[in-house]
């Protein structure tokens, strides 16, 4: 009988599963990691600062590389279009020389003068081509508002297509792909 009593008291003394679970939840978590020492926290701070400085350094290097690239492109663009202002100032002179060549001459002196004007115009046009300045083709091509300026439209006749340029009033020029002056044209409608 004593054995039977021992078993009963033992079961009564043992806590139930619910009680054990509640106690486990209520208990504060045990901090297994030790608190860092002053030396370790200083190392962590310095490591974080080093990482931050390395990041700033890499960003600064990238910004400098971007600036170099941007400046290089700007220099190339300036070199490519350096003759733009000069060309804009010379184009009226080219127009005037072309008008002078359209005049009729009746004597030998006038023919010689016309020949001289023709030579000057030819050398000027050659110099412009050397600088990358070209005439914009117009007659017989479709109207392009990026290259041409329509001054007048007239009804299409015969085989002319709508929006086809039929006459040039003033030549247009471009420097590489940049339009210096659009061609003034009459367009078939």
CA distance 40 to 44: 6
pTM recorded for the entire structure: 0.60
Query: Is 179:136 a contact under the CB 8 Å cutoff?
Result: yes
78 in any annotated domain? no
Q: Which of 6-15, 103-112, 132-141 has the lowest mean pLDDT?
A: 6-15
113 in any annotated domain? yes
Task: Express each pLDDT in 109-159 by its tens digit.
Answer: 999 999 999 999 999 999 999 989 999 988 989 999 999 999 999 888 878
- Per DSSP, 30 falls in state P
Q: Which domain holds residue 102?
A: 84-188
Query: Is 171:135 a contact under the CB 8 Å cutoff?
Result: yes
Strands (E), the chain: 133-135, 148-154, 165-170, 173-175, 178-181, 183-188
The total number of structural domains in the chain stands at 1
Using DSSP, state whether 21 is helix, strand or coil: helix
102 in any annotated domain? yes
Identify the CATH number of the domain in which residue 98 sits: 2.30.22.10
| Alpha helix ranges (H) inside the chain | 2-13, 17-26, 38-80, 84-102, 108-130
């Amino acid at each position: 009988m004593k054995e039977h009593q021992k078993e009963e008291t033992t079961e009564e003394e043992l806590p139930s599963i619910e009680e054990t679970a509640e106690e486990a939840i209520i208990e504060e978590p045990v901090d297994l990691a030790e608190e860092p020492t002053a030396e370790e926290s200083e190392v962590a701070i310095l490591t974080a600062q080093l990482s931050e400085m390395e990041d700033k350094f890499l960003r600064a290097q990238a910004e400098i590389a971007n600036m170099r690239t941007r400046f290089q492109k700007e220099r190339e663009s300036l070199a490519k279009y350096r003759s733009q202002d000069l060309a804009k100032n010379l184009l009226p002179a080219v127009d005037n020389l072309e008008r002078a060549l359209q005049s009729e001459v009746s004597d030998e002196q006038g023919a010689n003068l016309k020949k001289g004007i023709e030579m000057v115009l030819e050398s000027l046009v050659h110099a412009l081509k050397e600088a990358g300045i070209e005439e914009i083709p117009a007659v017989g091509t479709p109207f392009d508002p990026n290259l041409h300026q329509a001054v007048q439209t007239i009804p299409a006749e015969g085989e002319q297509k709508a929006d086809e340029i039929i006459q040039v009033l003033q030549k247009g020029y471009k420097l590489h792909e940049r339009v210096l002056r659009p061609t003034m044209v009459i367009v078939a409608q």
